[in-house]
């Protein structure tokens, strides 16, 4: 029961994280489309691949931060609370 509850809690937190990343991707997409001066209607498959790569590339610094910050916190917690098993 407790495990299910924890799984549910984890899922909700990941969902919020996913929403944040989605929002970043959306903003990045808007900026990229505006930069390339194309609209979604004009997109074809050859352009879409490059656009997706550019959008993901734009979000990369934020993703790095989202990856590094929890690890910094985990490192801090491991040191202070002497928890060896915290990932």
Partner 1 sequence: MDILGEVLAIMVLAAGGAAAVVAFLWLATFSWFERLVEGVFWLMGGMLCASVYFLLVWGLAFRGPISMFLSAALSGLVQFVPPMILEGSNKNFRRWALYVVWLYFWVTVLVGWQAGWLGLAFITLPALLVTGLGLFFVAGFILPSPFLDSDLYRGERPAPDPKAVPTFDQEVRDFFALLRHSRNRELRKRWFEHRRSALRCLVTYTLGTNYPYYVVVDEKIRERTEEVRSWLEEEERRVQRVGGDPFGGFLAGPGIVLTDCDHAVALSTGLRFKGAKGPGVVFTGMSARPEHVVDLRVQLRAFPVRAWTKDGIEVKVTTFIPFQIGTGKEVPALGKGFPYRSSDVFKAVCAQLVEHVGPSQTADSLEEHAWYDLPQLAGERIVREAISRYEFDDLYEPFELRQDAGQDSRSQIARELREGLDRVLPDWGIQRIGGGIGNLEPVAKERVIDQRIEAWRADWTRKIMRKRAEGQFRRIRLVEQARAQAQIDIILSIGKRIESLRSSGAPVPMDAVVLYFVEVLEQLADRPALRKLLPRDTGNIIQLARGTVGRGPADEEGE
Does 30 sit near partner 1 (CB under 8 A)?
yes
What's the CA gap between 48 and 39, in Å, rounded? 11
Q: Under the criterion CB under 8 A, does residue 53 sit at the interface with partner 1?
A: no
| Contacts of 87 by beta carbon, 8 Å cutoff, 6+ apart | 74
Least separation in angstroms between CB 7 and partner 1: 12
CB 38 within 8 A of CB 80: no
Which is nearer to partner 1, 18 or 70 (by Cβ)?
70
Q: For the chain, list the strands marked E by DSSP.
A: none
Instruction: Confirm or reject binding of residue 66 to partner 1 (CB under 8 A).
Output: yes
Q: Judged by CB under 8 A, does residue 20 bind partner 1?
A: yes
Neighbouring residues of 77: CB distance < 8 A, sequence distance ≥ 6: 83, 86
| Binding region for partner 1 (CB under 8 A) | 5, 9, 12-13, 16, 20, 23-24, 27-28, 30-32, 34-35, 57-62, 64-66, 69-70, 72-73, 75-77, 79-82
């Amino acid at each position: 029961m407790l495990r299910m509850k924890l799984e549910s809690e984890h899922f909700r937190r990941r969902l919020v994280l996913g929403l944040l990343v989605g929002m970043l991707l959306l903003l990045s997409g808007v900026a990229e489309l505006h930069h390339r001066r194309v609209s979604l209607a004009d997109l074809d498959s050859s352009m879409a691949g490059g656009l997706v790569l550019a959008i993901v590339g734009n979000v990369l610094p934020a993703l790095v931060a989202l990856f590094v910050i929890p690890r910094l916190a985990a490192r801090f917690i491991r040191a202070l609370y002497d928890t060896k098993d915290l990932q």
